[in-house]
A = this chain, B = another copy of it.
């Protein structure tokens, strides 16, 4: 990995921004190697064509510039499978950053193979989780790949030196990038995150202007928005009855969530690399989707399946957070989860109001809810009150045996 001389061609995850442009140039100068840029639209809300121009400006051959719209693949093959699990990390975080990394890494490896490259490079820092997520995915897909992580290798360890390097290499610097950013940002179709600098003191509230995806509950309209989501086999397929593609669904949910001040989260989390960090996340569409998915499961999923899912979920979420998407154990859990979703179809009605996602109805042709069974009257259905007596007696048997031992010991 440290053997610079041996790299011939490297596939760089390239955003077109200042940092990855510096990396691009640093790779050329340090490794004397050919650079392939890969720029993906995962719904981060930036145009991609400027990245192409900038790459060309920095000397990348057109054949070595890869720009792809991955939004559908991202939602269909990564976000939706994860939401089938109701995955939340540490009880709260919807894993918006974590779930995007494996897809980027996978495409880098695809391009490495297509272009005959021998190395990959990412712009994640040396203290975060993303370096782990990128690199575990790289290695899981291509075990002998060379991985270059500039932030762990170079000496551009301050903003000043980075800017100097950029200036020395004629890298264009937009004005707002000259100074230190007040916080760092990651964004994709599922969420945006902010962390660092002004957010580093967890005893202080996050400033309003770190939010980019949502208006605040206070600013949201006084009138609620009523809507519905249709599910098929655990995945959202329509909004307000209109069938939409996966990415279109999430886009639409993001708009609805944003407008109603939904999906903000300010938390301190435990990184895989060992320290605690504080982040502000905005997941407007995902927050609605999670509530709706739990609601449709509530009438279509059996208790045994539901409880097993709840017990497996923390492990599943931890695997994704830690970067083990491409691991046998994540795939095993996914197989179990996916099997449970066969009948998770139907419609959920929701009320969105100033940060609240309120379930107002759920219905399904596959519903396991049986009104006759719950009604207080003894009905025609096969529920005999006396069964409950036996059920309790046998469940109590071991507890009674324990109590008898205790009484024995005390007498």
Q: Considering only CB atoms, which chain B residue lies closest to A347 in the complex?
A: B203
Among A24-32, A169-177, A273-281, the stretch that binds chain B is A273-281
Write 10 A-B pairs (CB below 8 A) sorted by A numbering.
Answer: A131-B392, A196-B376, A217-B353, A275-B383, A302-B327, A335-B339, A355-B356, A373-B401, A384-B393, A390-B390
**What 14 additional pairs, Cβ within 8 angstroms, besides A273-B394, A328-B339?**
A91-B294, A125-B376, A132-B395, A202-B362, A203-B361, A264-B358, A302-B329, A304-B328, A307-B329, A335-B339, A387-B390, A389-B390, A390-B390, A390-B393
Q: Which residues of B contact A383 (CB under 8 A)?
A: 127, 275, 397
Q: Which residues of B contact A309 (CB under 8 A)?
A: 332
A residues lining the B interface (CB < 8 Å): 1, 86, 90-92, 125-127, 131-132, 135-136, 139-144, 149, 151-152, 157-158, 184, 196, 200-205, 217-218, 222, 224, 264, 266-270, 273-278, 294-295, 298-299, 302-311, 313-315, 318, 324, 326-329, 331-333, 335-340, 343, 349, 351, 353-356, 358-363, 366, 368-371, 373-378, 382-405, 407, 409
User: How distant is A224 from chain B, measured CB to nearest CB, in Å?
Assistant: 7
B136 touching A392, Cβ below 8 Å: yes
Take A184-B376, A329-B305, A376-B196 as given contacts and tell me if A403 and B140 are in contact as well, using a CB distance cutoff of 8 Å. yes
A149 touching B389, Cβ below 8 Å: yes
What is the CA–CA distance of A363 and B339 in the complex, to the nearest angstrom?
Answer: 33
User: How distant is A124 from chain B, measured CB to nearest CB, in Å?
Assistant: 10
**Which of A273, A399, A403 lies at the interface centre, i.e. has the most chain B CB atoms within 10 A of its CB?**
A399
Q: Which residues of B contact A326 (CB under 8 A)?
A: 399
Q: Considering only CB atoms, which chain B residue lies closest to A134 in the complex?
A: B392
Q: Which residues of B contact A315 (CB under 8 A)?
A: 308, 311
Q: Which residues of B contact A274 (CB under 8 A)?
A: 303, 394-398, 401
A393 touching B387, Cβ below 8 Å: yes
Q: Which residues of B contact A196 (CB under 8 A)?
A: 374-376
Q: Which residues of B contact A314 (CB under 8 A)?
A: 307, 310-311, 313
**Cβ contact of A126, chosen from B318, B324, B385, cutoff 8 A:** B385
User: How distant is A288 from chain B, measured CB to nearest CB, in Å?
Assistant: 15
What is the CA–CA distance of A92 and B90 in the complex, to the nearest angstrom?
Answer: 15
Q: Which residues of B contact A384 (CB under 8 A)?
A: 390, 393
Q: Which residues of B contact A371 (CB under 8 A)?
A: 200-201
